[in-house]
Copies of this chain bind each other. A is one copy, B any other.
Amino acid sequence: MFEILNTEILGYTAATLTTASFLPQAILTIRTRDTEALSLSMYSTFTLGVFCWLIYGIYLANNAIIYANAITLFLSLVILSFKIYNSFFKRDEVEKL
Interface residues of A (CB under 8 A from B): 7, 10-11, 13-22, 24-25, 37, 39, 42-43, 45-46, 48-50, 52-53, 55-56, 59-60, 64
CB neighbours (8 Å) of A39 from chain B are: 24
Complex Cα spacing A21 to B20, Å: 18
Q: A72 CB to closest chain B CB, in angstroms?
A: 10
Whether B60 lies near A7 (C-beta < 8 A) is yes
CB neighbours (8 Å) of A60 from chain B are: 7
Q: A83 CB to closest chain B CB, in angstroms?
A: 13
Q: A82 CB to closest chain B CB, in angstroms?
A: 17
Q: Residue A49 contacts which of B17, B24, B42, B59 (CB distance < 8 angstroms)? A: B17
CB neighbours (8 Å) of A55 from chain B are: 10, 14
CB neighbours (8 Å) of A22 from chain B are: 46
